[in-house]
Chain A
Amino acid sequence: MAVSTKYELKLGQATREAFGRALVEIGRENKDVVVCDADLSKSTMVHYFAKEFPDRFFSCGIAEANMVAVGAGLASSGKIPFVASFSAFVLNKGFEQLRVTVAYPNTNVKVVGTHSGISIGEDGPSQMSIEDLALACSLPGFVVLSPADEVAMGAFVRLAASHVGPVFIRAGRPKVPVVYSKDQKFEIGKAIQLLDGKDVTLMAHGLMVAESIRAAEMLDADGISARVIDMPTIKPLDEAAITKAASETGAIVVSEEHLVDGGLGVRVAQVVSRTRPCVMEYVGLENTYAESGSPEALLQKYGLTAAKVAEAARRALRRK
């Protein structure tokens, strides 16, 4: 069976939980950090912040368009607003405001979308966010982040607060495996190599990072050496890490809990096609919405599993 790696992948916090807790910490350190909420504080976990800093917490009601632009006004007057909702709502209902009041004038707004992907589960497609990265990456000047676990989320919330300019952070609903040790260092725009390998590279973000590690273990059992790279920064991309992976392994599989259209995969392909063309495969949602079900059942049905990542790697290797 699978060889063991240094990754135990024990179940940790949901990334939304880690976001909520980190926000309180940076709120204590910087009084300019403020929060805007659209009646989802108990789900996005900004209620921790609301409890400790009621004066710096603005309840906007279920009105995302106004919320985003209020955030832009707060940022224009020197505040560091974290504007949070489900990804599906803040990106889609607030998109025009993200475009005109945040991206275009480059206001220092931090947008946090929780319940991303299909792993929100039973609530179904109206609440699921499968196009948020495509939308966020289309906004010039935005930094777009999708941390894999609680450690990465804690670090990236802090990095987002100190970065000057608009940021989108993608968080998820379910508890996810812990990938990183507490002392891991993160940087905006830097990929992190989790396992080295020479035959194929498995790239991922969010909860597909742990699945890619598991896939590497499966491939290793078949004598295939897979490199695993976490891409927590979707934009700007770590082009050096991508080019290096393309030239050293000659095959890349990109896995994500997002539509393949407009996701990390096509962004990586854009780099590879320019710098070092190689075989590529994609694991993600293929031109479809999902449905209600348990997160596990949905990830299984829509192919977001280690087995599917391994399968894609084998496909890539056959074409190499």
Chain B
Amino acid sequence: MSTTDLNQLQQFCKLIRRHIVEMITEAKSGHPGGSLSAVEILAVLYKEVMRHDPKNPHWPDRDRFILGKGHACPVLYAIMAECGYTPVSELKTLRQLGSIYQGHPDRRFIPALEASTGSLGQGLSIGLGMALAARLDHRPSRVYVMLGDGEIQEGQIWEAAMFAAFHKVDNIVAIVDYNKIQLDGWVKDIMELEPLAEKWRAFGWHTLELDGHDLEAIRSAFAEAAATKGRPTCLIAHTIKGKGVSFMENNPKFHGTAPTREELALALKELA
């Protein structure tokens, strides 16, 4: 990645973060922490990695992204809007009656979304169905599913993990946004996931650990996933919940609490 590209992507991430805190403040509810932790990963996916065309959202050969942790939809909405799928001007209608930006991703309101999620644990299975369909039809499509760390406490995730390796689904990538905090507190205090990489490896996945805010590391992890044949890839992205806003970072309160107007002003100052 050239310095210019890197710089542009960093600026893009800041823009997305500003959208996130503004949208959620306006909505007076939502999930800032897990949206901010996923910004770099989604930015790299949508800006560099995925084959997609906002003007032709149902292109059969497109790559697909599913946000398993649907509550982090502000990051997805902001990125899709900035990519040209949906109006940027309406981002601030998040969670209001009639808004296309529903509280959790809803295909009825944004047909370009690949899945309606929100009930945790289901996105990976849906993605596997799409990956198998692409394989049957000899299409080049790849499927990317972002999972929350709390989300993978759901048993269905491990049903899907077994299924993916058994069927040698190598056109799917699971990304765990491992920000270490879930609604009630620290993951390690609610239901410890460690040893996490060993779990995915034991389930037959090619597994990488990376800094989920390091753009170069994210890019190279996706390249390694694309080069991995015969088995699925899991990227365990170590991230910081609330990343980019000092008082939200590693603060369980901002899993599901909207900033106040005063907090928004402070946040925007940091994200300028």
Contact = CB atoms under 8 A, between A and B. Distances in A.
With most chain B CB atoms within 10 A of its CB, the pick from A73, A75, A77 is A73
B107 A63 contact: no
Interface string A58-89: 11110101101111111111110100000000
A104 B118 CA distance: 12
A101 B114 CA distance: 11
B163 A77 contact: no
B125 interface: yes
B132 A70 contact: yes
Given A63-B162, A63-B163, A101 B133 contact: no
Nearest to B145: A73
A65 B163 CA distance: 12
Contacts of A70: 125-126, 128-129, 132, 160, 163
Contacts of B107: 105
A97 interface: yes
Contacts of B159: 60-61, 63, 65-66
Interface string B118-141: 110110011111111110110000
Contact of B129 (A55, A63, A76, A104): A76
Interface residues of B, number: 31
B115 A76 contact: yes
B19 to A, nearest CB: 25
B108 A73 contact: no
Contacts of B114: 76
Contacts of A99: 119
A81 B119 CA distance: 22
Could you tell me the dominant secondary structure of chain B's interface residues? Answer: helix
A34 interface: yes
A34 B125 contact: no
Contact of A72 (B119, B129, B155, B160): B129
Interface in B71-129: 107-108, 114-119, 121-122, 125-129
A99 B122 CA distance: 11
Contacts of A96: 119, 122
Interface residues of A, number: 31
A73 B162 contact: no
B160 A56 contact: no
Contact of B166 (A61, A71, A73, A77): A61
A53 B203 CA distance: 27
B167 interface: yes
Contact of B122 (A61, A69, A106): A69
A240 interface: no
Contacts of A79: 129, 133, 136
A164 interface: no
Contacts of B137: 77-78
A100 interface: yes
Contacts of A76: 114-115, 126, 129-130, 133
Contacts of A56: 136
A66 B156 contact: yes
Interface in B47-92: 60
A59 B128 CA distance: 13
A318 B253 CA distance: 66
B162 A78 contact: no
Nearest to B154: A65
Contacts of B126: 69-70, 72-73, 76, 101
Nearest to B127: A73
A105 B116 contact: yes
B107 to A, nearest CB: 5
Contacts of A72: 115, 125-126, 129
A73 B132 contact: yes
Contacts of B162: 61, 63
Contacts of A61: 159, 162-163, 166
Contacts of A71: 129
Interface in B154-203: 155-156, 159-160, 162-163, 166-167
Contacts of A58: 132, 167
Interface string A94-114: 001101110011100000000
A100 B122 contact: yes
Nearest to B139: A77
A104 B128 contact: no
Contacts of B128: 66, 70, 73
B193 to A, nearest CB: 19
Given A78-B133, A100-B119, 8 more contacts: A65-B121, A65-B125, A68-B125, A70-B126, A76-B114, A77-B129, A77-B134, A101-B116
13 contacts: A61-B159, A70-B160, A72-B126, A73-B125, A73-B129, A74-B133, A76-B130, A77-B137, A96-B119, A97-B122, A100-B117, A100-B122, A106-B108
Interface of B: 60, 107-108, 114-119, 121-122, 125-134, 136-137, 155-156, 159-160, 162-163, 166-167
Interface of A: 34, 55-56, 58-61, 63, 65-66, 68-79, 81, 96-97, 99-101, 104-106
Q: Which 10 A-B pairs have the closest CB atoms?
A: A73-B129, A69-B125, A77-B133, A66-B159, A63-B159, A74-B129, A73-B126, A70-B129, A73-B130, A105-B116
